[in-house]
Amino acid sequence: MSTVIADWILLAGLMTTIVTQGCISVQVPTESGKPRIIGVGSAGMAPGTGSQVFRIVSPGLSFRFHSYSPGLSLGWQETLLFFPAAAGPTNAPSSPVAIQNKCVGINLSPTEIALGYQRSFAIPFPTTGKNVIQFILYSEKNLTNTIVERKETP
């Protein structure tokens, strides 16, 4: 019986490798508020954006457990998180002012199921009880000119 189970595990592993082109990643939250990627992919500040645009790129099968863009994707998935200019310590936890997702393949999330090419841009609601003014100046073709500002009023 254990040989049959071992064969099924081997078959499942081979099918996963073929379907994902061998690329698997898991995106998890960190204390700084910016996600970290474990596996194949990259996560870090986009060059020339003054620490305001955080880019996450993951090919293949990607499990996203951070709260900004949770879900599962199979194909090419890229997330941009737009953070306001640092007003305090650079490692202080903060929430993004806007989120952009791009996926080529299959994307399954709590709010959508997409097949093919999908791109979305969202501005999350501010914390309850706060009045917020947000300003985002962004060009997909030139990230270096991105300006993100956030001001909370009583």
Closest CA to 26 of 43, 47, 11, 44: 43
Q: Residues 62-114: pLDDT tens digits? A: 888 887 888 899 888 999 988 887 654 444 447 788 889 999 988 898 888 88
State the first-to-last Cα distance of the chain, in angstroms, to the nearest integer.
66
DSSP state for residue 35 in the 8-state scheme: -
- DSSP strands (E only) in 29-93: 36-39, 42-45, 53-64, 71-82
For CA atoms 8, 9, 14, 15, give the dihedral sign: positive
pLDDT at 137: 84
Q: Which two tokens stand for residue 77?
A: 């998935």
pLDDT top residue among 4 and 88? 4
What number of CA atoms fall less than 13 Å from residue 105's CA on the CB side?
A: 20
Q: Which two tokens stand for residue 9?
A: 């595990």
What value, to the nearest 5°, has the Cα angle with vertex 112 and ends 109 and 117?
100
Instruction: With H, G, I as helix, E, B as strand and everything else as coil, classify residue 3.
Output: helix
Closest CA to 148 of 66, 73, 58, 87: 87
Contacts of residue 57, Cβ cutoff 8 Å, sequence gap at least 6: 41, 42, 43, 76, 77, 78
pLDDT at 89: 45
Hunting for tokens 């030139």 — which residue is that?
142
pLDDT at 92: 46
State the pTM of this model: 0.76
Q: Are strands 98-109 and 131-137 parallel, antiparallel or unpaired?
A: unpaired
pLDDT top residue among 97 and 20? 97
